[in-house]
Amino acid sequence: MKRIVGSLVALLMGFSFFAGPLAAQEDDETVLQKAREQYQEKLNRERDTNRADAEFPSQVREATESYEDSEVPYTPVLLSFAPGVSSPFGYYRTSASFALIGATFEASYGFAGAGVFNIYNQGFGFQGAGVFNIAGGPVRGAQLAGVFNIAEDVTGSVQAAGVFNIAKTVKGIQIAEVFNVAESVDGMQIGLVNITDELRGLQIGLINISRNGVDSLSFVYMPATDTAFAYWQAGSPFIYLVLGAGAPRTDWFVRNDNLMVSAGLGTRVRLGGPYIDIDVSAEQHLGKDIEALYQAGVDCDKDAFISLIKPYPTARLSLGLPLSRSLHLTGGIKTLVQLEEGGTVPEFMKTQDTLSATWFGIPFTAWSQWFVGAKVTL
């Protein structure tokens, strides 16, 4: 009996000796597994947060970050009579600013309206003033003023003023009755005078200045039809506006019943110094309609004026060779297209180089001719 009890005690002690480490090992593995799971959950949360940040609109994210990080206090609504006379009193970030005369604030995240002026650092949404807006930082949305706007950075926005706009960078549209000025423009400038260093877009105005832009006046001669044309190109290499006028060579400054006018868009491909211009225009032979068009314009008869507009499509492919900084030699080919429904190509512009075909179910006749001339950069 003692031998049996002793054997059981020895067996129990042996089991305890081996089971203890096994249990400890099992507990260690459980703790490690839980740590791994918690670490994986943390990684998943960080990945989801990063993905949400990437998808979240940058403009709203910037505004949200400024909510959290800015030391300037926030108020949902700011009511001002003039700077320093506001409710609540002080310098704020706000979602809506209303001012009888003017307001100064750090940032607006929705609406800012003033009878005379707004002065702020950041603007998201609408900023409107009867006289002027001045933004020391970025503007997102619309900045509108009766006289002028000034901003550091205009992105995805419209900057419009009755007299002038000034910005460092513009990724959107500047519209002013007198002039627009920016260091770089990725979009459009519309005004009497448009000035920028770097342009990727279009300038529409009487005077357009850009260091890398297209702004030139060319005179070309077409021997096959003995006609001469003048073309004005303005815009950027990416896209430019082209306006043209032409007539038989002997009719220039003598008669206008054979006058042809055109308007279109083009693009420029730079080849180092030389370049290729490709443009497509709507051209019309005014002929006897010139007097009727003039009278419809004087009478402000829109229906009559539109009924007389019957253009035909044209396309030009030209090569430019700079001879100096301001003088370029140009030459290429021009094609005029006659459609069943559309304007009529004048007889004196039809050459022997003719193509008649049907493309995409549309019959047409096309005439092509070579031209050569000179171009002066403005």
For residue 52, is it within any domain?
Answer: no
Residues 240 and 367 reside in one and the same domain? yes
Q: Would you state the pLDDT for residue 43?
A: 61
Q: Would you state the pLDDT for residue 255?
A: 80
Total domain count, the chain: 2
Residues 275 and 363 reside in one and the same domain? yes
Tokens representing 19?
């089971």
Q: For the segment 112-135, what is each residue's pLDDT rounded down to a tens digit?
A: 999 999 999 999 999 999 999 999
Residues 238 and 360 reside in one and the same domain? yes
Q: Which residue has the higher pLDDT, 256 or 3?
A: 256
Q: Would you state the pLDDT for residue 374?
A: 97
Q: For the segment 187-242, what is each residue's pLDDT rounded down to a tens digit?
A: 999 999 999 998 888 888 888 888 888 889 999 999 999 999 999 998 888 888 89
The dihedral sign for the CA sequence 59, 130, 152, 65: negative
For the chain, helix (H) and strand (E) counts, in that order, are 4, 20
| Backbone conformation region of residue 103, classed left if phi is above 0, alpha if psi is from -120 to 50, else beta | beta
Count Cβ neighbours within 10 Å for each residue of 296-315 and write b for 16 or more, e otherwise: beeeeeeeebeebeebbbbb
Residues 219 and 350 reside in one and the same domain? yes
Instruction: Provide the CA 256 distance to its chain's centre, in angstroms.
Output: 39
For residue 158, is it within any domain?
Answer: yes
Among residues 123, 130, 116, the alpha carbon closest in space to that of 95 is found at 123
Q: Would you state the pLDDT for residue 20?
A: 46
Q: What is the mean pLDDT of residues 15-34?
A: 47
By residue range, what is the domain housing residue 188? 66-210
Q: Would you state the pLDDT for residue 202?
A: 84
Tokens representing 207?
């005077």
Residues 157 and 107 reside in one and the same domain? yes
Instruction: Provide the CA 70 distance to its chain's centre, in angstroms.
Output: 30
- Residue 293: pLDDT band by 50, 70, 90 thresholds? confident
Identify the three-state secondary structure at position 323.
coil
User: How many whole angstroms separate alpha carbon 371 and alpha carbon 150?
Assistant: 46
Q: For the segment 333-359, what is each residue's pLDDT rounded down to a tens digit?
A: 999 999 988 888 999 999 888 899 988
pLDDT higher than 50, residue 15: no
Task: State the DSSP code for 251.
Answer: G
